[in-house]
């Protein structure tokens, strides 16, 4: 018997013991993440009941899973269907990248990979279930102090990723989850980018995904062959997240965030200098993460 949540109380408040009728398997090429090869279905193998849909993404669906033997024990499971015209090759690559990144980093504000498995019909990535849901779902109840707290925590998580040469690639309120009222957790690494070694960190814009309403100007306007800095794209997205939390509205591609920062009366005056630095249209003039974290620390709220 082994604890599916690996006994990490800081990462997840509930755990459940499961039997392991599987063998370990590598399903890609090169340096492999730890993936289990299951002979049957993930949910029946680990005695979980598949529940409500928590969200949809480009790669699959995320569902709630509840332990049959301990209904208080729950996890979120992202399912990557293997059926498709390419036999699931693209989704397998995405799955392996996401699992590899989640297993290679450890941070108090980054969602851990509880377990990754290959089933006959789909790939499964199990993560802690955060009962308060996404940060976007809690927008209406936020105050400036909580906005600063949550952004400081996520900025710390993103800084940790960048130090390991990983850019998240899809920072947004819907990819941040609340463990409780004081702890925000960054998740969803399906669009993360590994930065090339011995380079300036620039990659073709075509390799960067993201959500249009959080995209920096240089990514929105990028033409064929245009190079962008994924680290700077992450920083701009953090600025959009902060703006949305302060104004209590969801992001939209129709907003000029810098203009709104300067004119919207709902933006607290003491936050405007920080927002101007991270929402700077020119990437070379945009604040770096250390500057953002230091500015947040100095804020009086």
Nearest one of 168, 63, 33 to 110, comparing CA atoms: 168
CATH architecture entry for 136-298? Orthogonal Bundle (1.10)
Residue 218 has pLDDT above 90, yes or no: yes
Residue 59 has pLDDT above 90, yes or no: no
Residue 287 has pLDDT above 90, yes or no: yes
pLDDT, average across residues 36-63 = 92
Mean of the per-residue pLDDT values for the chain?
88
Q: What's the pTM?
A: 0.87
Tokens of 82: 């293997």
- The reply to whether 2-128 and 136-298 are identical in fold is no
User: What confidence score (pLDDT) does residue 220 get?
Assistant: 87
Q: How confident is the model at residue 31 (pLDDT cuts 50, 70, 90)?
A: low
Please give the share of the chain, as a percent, with pLDDT higher than 90: 74
User: What confidence score (pLDDT) does residue 18 get?
Assistant: 40
Tokens of 3: 């604890």
Domain regions of the chain by residue span: 2-128, 136-298
Superfamily, domain 2-128 = Phosphorylase Kinase; domain 1 (3.30.200.20)
- Please enumerate, by residue number, every residue annotated as part of a binding site for ATP: 79
pLDDT, average across residues 203-211 = 87
Look at 294 and 203; give whichever has higher pLDDT: 294
- Please enumerate, by residue number, every residue annotated as part of a binding site: 79
pLDDT, average across residues 222-229 = 84
pLDDT digits (tens, 9 = 90+) for 76-130: 999 999 877 777 888 999 999 999 999 999 999 999 999 999 999 999 999 999 9
pLDDT digits (tens, 9 = 90+) for 139-167: 999 999 999 999 999 999 999 999 999 99
């Amino acid at each position: 018997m082994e604890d599916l949540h690996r006994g990490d109380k800081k990462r997840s408040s509930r755990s459940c013991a499961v039997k392991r009728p599987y063998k370990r398997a590598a399903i890609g090429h090169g340096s492999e993440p730890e993936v289990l090869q299951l002979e049957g279905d993930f949910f029946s193998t680990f005695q979980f009941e598949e529940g409500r849909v928590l969200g949809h993404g480009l790669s699959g669906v995320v569902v709630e899973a509840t332990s049959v033997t301990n209904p208080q024990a729950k996890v979120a499971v992202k399912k990557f269907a293997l059926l498709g015209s390419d036999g699931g090759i693209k989704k397998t690559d995405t799955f392996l990248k996401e699992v590899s990144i989640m297993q290679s980093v450890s941070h108090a504000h980054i969602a851990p990979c509880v377990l990754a498995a290959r089933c006959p019909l789909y790939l499964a990535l199990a993560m802690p279930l955060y009962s308060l849901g996404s940060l976007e779902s809690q927008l209406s109840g936020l105050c400036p102090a909580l906005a600063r707290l949550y952004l400081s925590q996520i900025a710390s998580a993103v800084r940790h990723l960048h130090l390991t040469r990983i850019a998240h690639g899809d920072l947004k309120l819907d990819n941040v989850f609340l463990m409780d009222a004081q702890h925000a957790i960054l998740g969803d690494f399906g669009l993360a980018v590994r930065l090339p070694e011995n380079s300036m960190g620039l990659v073709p814009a075509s390799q960067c995904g993201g959500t249009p309403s959080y995209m920096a100007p240089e990514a929105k306007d990028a033409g064929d062959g245009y190079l962008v800095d994924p680290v700077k794209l992450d920083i701009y997205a953090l600025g959009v997240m902060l703006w949305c939390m302060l104004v209590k509205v969801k992001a939209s591609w129709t907003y000029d965030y810098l203009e709104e920062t300067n004119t919207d009366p709902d933006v607290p005056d003491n936050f405007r200098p920080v927002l101007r630095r991270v929402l700077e249209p020119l990437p070379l003039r945009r604040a770096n993460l250390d500057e953002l974290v230091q500015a947040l620390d100095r804020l009086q709220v």
